[in-house]
Amino acid sequence: MKLAFQLAYKNLMGAGLRTWLNAGVLSFAFVVIIFYNGLIDGWNEQARIDGVNWAYGNGHLVHEAYDPFDPFSLQDGHGMLPEEMQGNLTPVFIQQATLYPQGRMLSVQLKGIDVNQTVVKLPTHLLDSSSAEFPVIIGKGMAASAKLNVGDQVLLRWRDRNGTFDAANVTISGIFETNVPFVDGGQLWMPIDKLWEMTGLTGHATYFIANDAYVPEESAGWKFESKEYLLRELTKIINMKKVSGSIIYLLLLSIGLLAIFDTQVLSIFRRQKEIGTYIALGMTRWQVVGLFTAEGSMYSFFATVLGCIYGIPLLAYMANKGFGMPLSADQSGLILAERIFPVYGAALIIGTIIVVVVSATIVSFLPARKIARMNPVEALKGKLQ
């Protein structure tokens, strides 16, 4: 086997530019595979971290009548949890409301939360330090769509526990920036004590955010949803993106492998006398097959080295600077940062190298099998059977 690789190396070096063209095409596919998967993994990691830090915590204890995808469930999707079960939990109470900025009408969700909470990154301390009668904080996206600034007062209308409409001016006490759309878009956050007072539903909550010390326990009318469950939609999207991306790099890899296959077919055709000489000198047919297979697999090693030469600086630059997302990405409804920083794990790099090497070896072996059926005398004459 050592002799086969030595001969294969000399033959490929002797081929000159043809060898490096094949290796270059294969290395491009190698770098693209790592970059795309690293980009998807980076998005996945950033989105999970932001989702947990801004909204999910260690999971939610949700009222059984509440469905986050059904706004009509807000009317009955709340209740009271026994006080002895509220340890390590932060209550969130949601009510439907209408905002009237500059004479326009916006349907919003009015969310009450404990101003002293630390389980999520919402700057609720801005609510505690405000002297306004009805302080609220909003996200940067909400502020842009409603054209509101810190200190602005805007009319808000809501219903109390009896279904009676009430209205008051709320004061924008702070504007925060987040990548999590369901914390920002159409959301107004205020002290939960104030929302209880406004609605007359003291002690009610729509869901509770659990901290790391919370241990799930059974409670009638409530269900616990882990952070993995809450992130399930994002996981589905990430997996779908990986499948669609695999089609792209499968095409790129196929182009590189096709070049190797064509080169091997041509090489066997042009080197018939050399093949016959090898057999006449005592090499078995399968040893010669191994030699040509080694030549093809060596393309993948050259491609790996070549890919590292220009790929490492390029991928390192992207990991450091990130990949900018278009402005329209803010409207996608997904947890998506302005810049995604690719993550290149060892499993991704090693797995890609193995895929490239194995694929190149298989593609090289297929045309080389014909050598096993050659007649050495005919091969020496330069005639294939």
Residue 228 forms part of a structural domain: no
Give the tens place of pLDDT for each residue, 123-162.
Answer: 999 998 888 899 999 999 899 989 999 999 999 999 999 8
Q: What is the CA radius of gyration of the chain?
A: 32
Residue 28 forms part of a structural domain: yes
Q: Judge if 145 and 68 occupy the same domain.
A: yes
Q: Judge if 270 and 175 occupy the same domain.
A: no
**DSSP 8-state class, residue 152:** -
Q: Judge if 67 and 215 occupy the same domain.
A: yes
Q: Judge if 66 and 176 occupy the same domain.
A: yes
Task: Classify 110 as helix, strand or coil.
Answer: strand
Cβ atoms of 292 and 264 closer than 8 Å: yes
Of 222, 251, 273, the last residue of a domain is: 222
Q: To which residue do tokens 């009638």 refer?
A: 220
Please give the pLDDT value at position 333.
Answer: 65
Distance, in Å, from the CA atom of 173 to the CA atom of 189, rounded to the nearest integer, reads 10
Q: Judge if 276 and 354 occupy the same domain.
A: yes
Distance, in Å, from the CA atom of 206 to the CA atom of 195, rounded to the nearest integer, reads 12
Please give the pLDDT value at position 227.
Answer: 92
Distance, in Å, from the CA atom of 240 to the CA atom of 209, rounded to the nearest integer, reads 29
Q: Judge if 275 and 177 occupy the same domain.
A: no
pLDDT band at 69 (very low <50, low <70, confident <90, very high): confident
Residue 385 forms part of a structural domain: no
Q: Judge if 48 and 66 occupy the same domain.
A: no
Q: Judge if 247 and 374 occupy the same domain.
A: yes
Q: Judge if 130 and 170 occupy the same domain.
A: yes
Q: Judge if 244 and 343 occupy the same domain.
A: yes
Q: Judge if 314 and 374 occupy the same domain.
A: yes
Total number of domains in the chain: 2
Of 222, 253, 276, the last residue of a domain is: 222
pTM of the shown model: 0.78
Domain that holds residue 367: 2-52+233-380
Of 222, 244, 275, the last residue of a domain is: 222
Counting residues of the chain whose pLDDT is more than 70, the rounded percentage is 89
pLDDT band at 251 (very low <50, low <70, confident <90, very high): confident
